Structure 1
């Protein structure tokens, strides 16, 4: 299968996924008020669902990980077996069906960090984002393209052709250095004097302060 066909398949899949999100969000508009959960309004959810602002690129996440940025939490929403096989550094595993367990809420419903959901592509991460956004949780992001895009851009970046612009070569240089940081070796890495490989940063210890529960109004 050539790259053009693969691109068409991926494009169709993401369009289908976007359609599902819009239908889900739009469907909430039709629910009776007593059936709606607490959180943002259905109209706001719909506007969020069709926006791309929730996405963060693999290059941005790579930069944050390498520089030890303490402002975010990576949440792998795949099953535990997939998480144990491969995941991003310092990511915590909260499988999608277990998203709202009490032990997990302190990570996804807090005000200290940005929460970045990811899965193999966008599909399950988008579902996690939609569910949490519906409840009014803040600072939610989705890794664009998921681990599939992570591998094709950061772990195994494509070498640009000679006719591509200079910025593509600079991007490739940055991605190659990042891939070496994440453990990829190259035959020429010992003689590539123009490539600066970042030094490993210590593992991030995530300590989240639980939100205080609101005191019920009224009483005797």
Structure 2
């Protein structure tokens, strides 16, 4: 059982990720907390749709922006003060843009902004210029990791939900429907982003791009998807 948990949850990699990317993890946790409040009707989404939408947009884009800033700082050798000054300064401008928009205008801001940030992550460490092999190797590794992170989130959410549904059916247990929402929110808004961040390692390691699967990826492919 311990070996199985270690394969599915790379704890050491998660610890390293938390230390290296504290701001993106904070955005991820904020999204999760906001979703829990909506699921449990603590906030009225019908009356506060614009405010909730603004916070979702800001946290989602902030997650990517803080990843980009960390990678730029690593590539240029910035100290923490310079990195956080740039990160929080641009984030403040982003917050001003987000909270000045509502409804469809907010959506029109989110879609291109999120896409631009998502596509910029892979080039962030190479702002000073590097070999093409390093850029492409890091890009392949990063987006391949993002796909596996999304898959891992879906498998975790689906697996736990099926287990709860089985318990509910077999033992006639009364499991609140909100619990399923909490589980899916945790898996997709916390666990999957955390998996994705484990791939944002030092880009110098990808001068010769290779797609080596990690232990939990091997387990997902061989023990879950293949059967």
TM surpasses 0.5? no
If asked which structure has higher relative contact order (CA below 8 Å, sep 6+), I would say 2
What TM-score, normalized by structure 2, do the two folds share? Answer: 0.24
Larger gyration radius, structure 1 or structure 2: 1
Q: Provide the TM-score with structure 1 as the length reference.
A: 0.25
The structure whose residues are more often helix, as a share, is: 2
